Amino acid sequence: MLRCKHVVFFTLFFLLGHVLVKASNPWPVAIQALEAKDYLLADSLFNHIISEFPNRPEAHLYRAQSRYWLKDYKEALYHLSLADPPSQQMGRAEILRAYCHYNMGEVDKARIIMEDIILHYEDLRDSARAFLVSHYKGVENYSQAHFLLSSRLEDKPRAYLFEERAIVALNLGNVQDAIDDFSSAIELDTQQVNYYWRRAILYGEGGDYDKAIADYDKAIVLDKNNDVLWRNRAIEALSAKRYKKALYDLEKLVKRYPNDIELLKALFYCYYALNNYDHASNIYDMIERVDPNNSLLKKYDRNELLSSTFFQRLVNLLQRSYRVLCDEWMIWVPIVFMLTIFAYGIKNRR
């Protein structure tokens, strides 16, 4: 029994000693707080460490990080000046320095540091280029942004970078280059709606409506509840005079948005182009109810639509009758021949 008490006593003594040692050494706690993004606690602990060991360079390096995240960029730069990071951390310290200058409005200083990182730190080159791309886009230097994006893509092709370069290409007026980049993005990632959507817009603006519709088809498969995609596809189908294709999308959308005047007008034109005057007349009434002064009401007369409806039915009937006669002419020839002989026989009897 006595031995058990001794074991318990020494175990508790050991654990207490371990806790006291850990409490007297705030360094691991500070690192853990920094990794957990508890920047206030990390900053307080590193400040305590520096007050005891003012010449400890790694403490200044970590305190610079906590001050940066607390948006005290001037103080972060001060601690970076006292830090002496090892070679494997030197590049990251320089990136932190660049971001401090950038957030203080010293953009040129940040740019120069990032350009130096590209030259001397291969593992951080992509991050530095990403920063510079953002900078050059901000100052509308799209040529330089395009060049840097091309460099990033040469090092490692990524779908989102092709998309970014496509947008930059559009700012440079290079529509075909943008289409090619969206196509490359799609090859690398076929599940991004945005790539199809953006390429479809470019196809549509260039008059290549069928390709635009095909891209919207793929985008809608990925995002069936996006009404903008349905609307855009209907517009492209109308532009391509594929009225039945447009009709499917427009009827679906008008059920959801019965007071959307642009949808109603598009649906009216679609029915009108398909000679479906009954439905066109109904949509005409809906437009009149929603917007009595709409210009479409002045362009088309409802009475003419109704008369067109009756007249069109008659025309359709005659056309169907004519097609039947044409299709079945082999039957009608002997009938006409027999009727002719019968009439001729009656005439001779007389």
Q: At what angle do helices 261-273 and 243-256 cross, to 10 degrees?
A: 150
Buried b (16+ CB within 10 A) or exposed e, 177-196: bbbbbbebbbeeeeebeebb
As to burial, measured by CB atoms within 10 angstroms (0-12 exposed, 13-18 middle, 19+ buried), residue 86 is: exposed
Q: What CATH superfamily classification does 157-240 receive?
A: Tetratricopeptide repeat domain (1.25.40.10)
pLDDT of residue 342: 58
Residues comprising the chain, all counted: 350
Distance set, CA 317 to CA 72, 155, 202, 314, 324 (Å): 83, 68, 44, 5, 11
pLDDT digit string (tens) for 174-232?
999 999 999 999 999 999 999 999 999 999 999 999 999 999 999 999 999 999 999 99
pLDDT band at 156 (very low <50, low <70, confident <90, very high): very high
Q: At 296, which amino acid appears?
A: L
pLDDT of residue 15: 42
* Percent composition of the chain: helix, strand, coil (DSSP 3-state, to 5): 85, 0, 15
CB 215 within 8 A of CB 199: yes
pLDDT digit string (tens) for 4-46?
544 443 344 334 333 333 445 788 999 999 999 999 999 999 9
Residue 2 reports pLDDT greater than 70: no
pLDDT band at 88 (very low <50, low <70, confident <90, very high): confident
CA atoms within 13 A on the CB side of 256: 11
Q: At what angle do helices 57-69 and 87-103 cross, to 10 degrees?
A: 30
Residue 343 reports pLDDT greater than 80: no
Q: Max alpha carbon distance in the chain (Å)? A: 149
pLDDT digit string (tens) for 121-155?
999 999 999 999 999 999 999 999 999 999 999 99
Computed from CA positions of residues 247, 248, 250, 254, in that sequence, does the dihedral angle turn out positive or negative?
A: positive
Residue 336 reports pLDDT greater than 80: no
CA 13 and chain centroid, separation: 61
pLDDT of residue 112: 96
pLDDT of residue 25: 73
Percent of the chain with pLDDT over 70: 80
CB 193 within 8 A of CB 163: no
Domain ranges for the chain, please list them. 157-240
pLDDT digit string (tens) for 322-332?
555 565 555 55
